[in-house]
Amino acid sequence: MKNVVPIIVSSLLSAFLAIFLYRFFEKPQELIIREVNTSYTVGQSMTSSSTFISATPSSFTKASEIVTPAVVNIRTQAQNRFDFWSNNSAGTSSGSGVIISEDGYIMTNNHVIEGGASIQITLSDKREFEARKVGFDPSTDLALLKIEARNLPYLKFANSDSLRVGEWILAVGNPFNLESTVTAGIVSAKGRDIKILEGNYRIESFIQTDAMVNPGNSGGALVNMAGDLVGINTAIMSRSGSFEGYSFAIPSNLARKIIEDLRIYGEVKRGILGVEIAEVDNRLAKKLGLTQVQGVYIKDTSEGGGAAQAGIMRGDVIVEINNTAIKTVPELQEYVARFRPGDTIEVGFIRKGKRQNLKVKLQKITESSDLASFSIAPNLLQVIGLEVRNLRQEEKKRLSITSGVKVISIYKDSPAEKANMEISFIIEKVNEIPVANLEELLAAIELTEDEIILEGSYENFSGKYLYRIPIFLQE
């Protein structure tokens, strides 16, 4: 023990001496430790010290509180033709609607109120009103109603063009009088055409979301995180009739124009370019020498139409309207539908590899004599599922034929669609009987008892085509 104590004392003295000498000869240094912020902004390097702002909202309550008072329940006394949207009980159907003004204007889907003998509105505070139809537009599936009330909560329209894929949205409905229901999701895609509407002038450029939407939510609101209206919930893609991951809404920019027309004029004032169009696919892009597979191909122009008068020609590819990029047919249809007859738009297009711009004055839709309407033969073309028109003189000259009828629209799930017929088919014979025009076509169809054999051709494909279409006409 006596030997250990001196050793300990000697060690301590040596340590103190070493520290003294180090401090005497070596100046002290300052060590700085920088606080590293590991968060980053999307698109920046992970070494950036910028603060990360998450796109995911921490709460949906603010937007929900704004929206739910302005979403109403709608009940009618008629069977809704879109069965998977309806809650049918005792002859009634149910859907949703959105209040868009403090004095009682309500926007909804046309299929929610179609054929309704009476329409009853229930507000979020349980008050009930009888509504009157102001107007409706089947080609966009929109309708405007009016109730006699004041100081109502209402939603403001937002710019649906500003929506981005991946952005958070809320779907709000008032189904079955269960009060408002709110579901959240993201924008999955834009400009979707799901072919649920009918008619040659149908417009489908839906916002696709994954927000859960079920029966009764049709006509309800799609809103952004500020609680502003970006769309009207319209349809789901489903095999079971319930939500399976995809829902579709009419963009607010289109809805606003349609509703303004219905309120002011009682009908939609729709301007048209006067063109027959097709999607640009990979084959067509290569043929035309396009650098991108996008745009809208002009198959033909209407004689005397706005596009033809401005100088747009068959073979041009529209890529822009009013400095807004146009990539697909639904985008073009939706954008043009925001304007009225007489409005002028600037069309950017590619012709033989060169970019050009022309100003086009839109014209109104006319009930031309070369179009077949259901008033001519309501129990013939409607059953087949076709809209047709006479060939124009320039078409006959170009195709080197003297007669025929052109198919301009084919209805979903119709016999014509099931026969795999495509738009632009030129009908030349019906059951081996040559047809020169609409009157001869309808006369030949009237002679049919069980099956129609349509023979004809396509402008861009060689050879003749036959389509067998079963038909059972009721007297």
Set 96, 139, 141, 193: catalytic member: 141
Supply the pLDDT for residue 134. 93
Domains of the chain: 60-268 (2.40.10.120), 271-364 (2.30.42.10), 381-470 (2.30.42.10)
* Residue 442 pLDDT class (50, 70, 90 cuts): confident
Supply the pLDDT for residue 86. 42
* Residue 199 pLDDT class (50, 70, 90 cuts): low
Name the average pLDDT for the chain: 81
Supply the pLDDT for residue 375. 33
Least confident stretch, 7-21, 91-105, 114-128, 273-287: 7-21
Residue 166 scores a pLDDT above 90? yes
Supply the pLDDT for residue 35. 30
Mean pLDDT of 202-206: 90
* Residue 363 pLDDT class (50, 70, 90 cuts): very high
Residue 378 scores a pLDDT above 50? no
Q: What number of other Cβ atoms are within 10 A of residue 57's Cβ?
A: 13
Supply the pLDDT for residue 297. 94
Q: Identify any residues that bridge with 135 across adjacent strands, giving them in sequence order.
A: 144
Cβ–Cβ under 8 Å, residues 428 and 435 = yes
* Residue 307 pLDDT class (50, 70, 90 cuts): very high
Supply the pLDDT for residue 28. 46
* Residue 474 pLDDT class (50, 70, 90 cuts): very low
Cβ–Cβ under 8 Å, residues 357 and 419 = no
Residue 87 scores a pLDDT above 80? no
* Residue 325 pLDDT class (50, 70, 90 cuts): very high
Q: Identify any residues that bridge with 350 across adjacent strands, giving them in sequence order.
A: 317, 355
Which range has highest mean pLDDT (27-41, 53-67, 197-211)?
Answer: 197-211
Cβ–Cβ under 8 Å, residues 297 and 280 = yes
The Cα–Cα gap between 139 and 374 comes to 16
Residue 205 scores a pLDDT above 50? yes
Residue 218 designated active-site: yes
Supply the pLDDT for residue 370. 40
Structure tokens at 375: 């008033």
Mean pLDDT of 314-340: 94
The Cα–Cα gap between 308 and 275 comes to 8
Cβ–Cβ under 8 Å, residues 249 and 234 = yes
Mean pLDDT of 243-250: 84
Mean pLDDT of 153-168: 95
The Cα–Cα gap between 174 and 153 comes to 15
3-state secondary structure the chain: CCCHHHHHHHHHHHHHHHHHHHHHHCCCCCCCCCCCCCCCCCCCCCCCCCCCCCCCCCCCHHHHHHHHHHEEEEEECCCCCCHHHCCCECCEEEEEEEECCCCCEEEECHHHHCCCCCEEEECCCCCEEEEEEEEEECCCCEEEEECCCCCCCCCCECCHHHCCCCCEEEEEECHHHCCCEEEEEEEEEEEECCCCCCCCCCCCCEEEECCCCCCCCCCCEEECCCCCEEEEEEEECCCCCCCCCCEEEEEHHHHHHHHHHHHHHCCCCCEECCEEEEECCHHHHHHHCCCCCCCEEEEEECCCCHHHHHCCCCCCEEEEECCEECCCHHHHHHHHCCCCCCCEEEEEEEECCEEEEEEEECEECCCCCCECCCCCCCCCHHHHCEEEEECCHHHHHHHCCCCCEEEEEECCCCHHHHCCCCCCCEEEEECCEECCCHHHHHHHHHCCCCEEEEEEEECCEEEEEEEEEECCCCC
Mean pLDDT of 57-75: 89
Cβ–Cβ under 8 Å, residues 104 and 149 = yes
* Residue 369 pLDDT class (50, 70, 90 cuts): very low
Residue 41 scores a pLDDT above 80? no
The Cα–Cα gap between 221 and 182 comes to 10
Residue 93 scores a pLDDT above 50? yes
Cβ–Cβ under 8 Å, residues 261 and 269 = yes
Set 86, 93, 139, 218: catalytic member: 218
Supply the pLDDT for residue 54. 41
Q: What is the pTM assigned to this prediction?
A: 0.66
The Cα–Cα gap between 170 and 168 comes to 7
Supply the pLDDT for residue 71. 96
The Cα–Cα gap between 207 and 235 comes to 10
Supply the pLDDT for residue 410. 81
Mean pLDDT of 400-407: 85
Supply the pLDDT for residue 186. 95
381 Rama sector, left if φ>0, alpha if ψ -120 to 50, beta otherwise? alpha
Q: Which is higher by pLDDT, 59 or 149?
A: 149
Locus of tokens 């067998």: 468
pLDDT cut 70: percent of the chain above it: 77
Supply the pLDDT for residue 228. 95
CA dihedral 325, 190, 198, 271 (to 10 degrees): -30
Mean pLDDT of 380-404: 80
Set 86, 94, 111, 188: catalytic member: 111
Chain mean position to CA 273? 19
Angle at 411 between CA 405 and CA 416, to 5 degrees: 60
Residue 343 designated active-site: no
Residue 409 designated active-site: no
Supply the pLDDT for residue 263. 93
Mean pLDDT of 372-395: 65
Supply the pLDDT for residue 118. 87
* Residue 470 pLDDT class (50, 70, 90 cuts): confident
Q: What is the pLDDT of residues 252-268, one digit of tens each?
A: 999 999 999 999 988 89
Supply the pLDDT for residue 25. 53
Which range has highest mean pLDDT (78-92, 345-359, 384-398, 406-420)?
Answer: 345-359
421: nearest Cα among 400, 437, 406: 406
Q: What number of other Cβ atoms are within 10 A of residue 247's Cβ?
A: 29
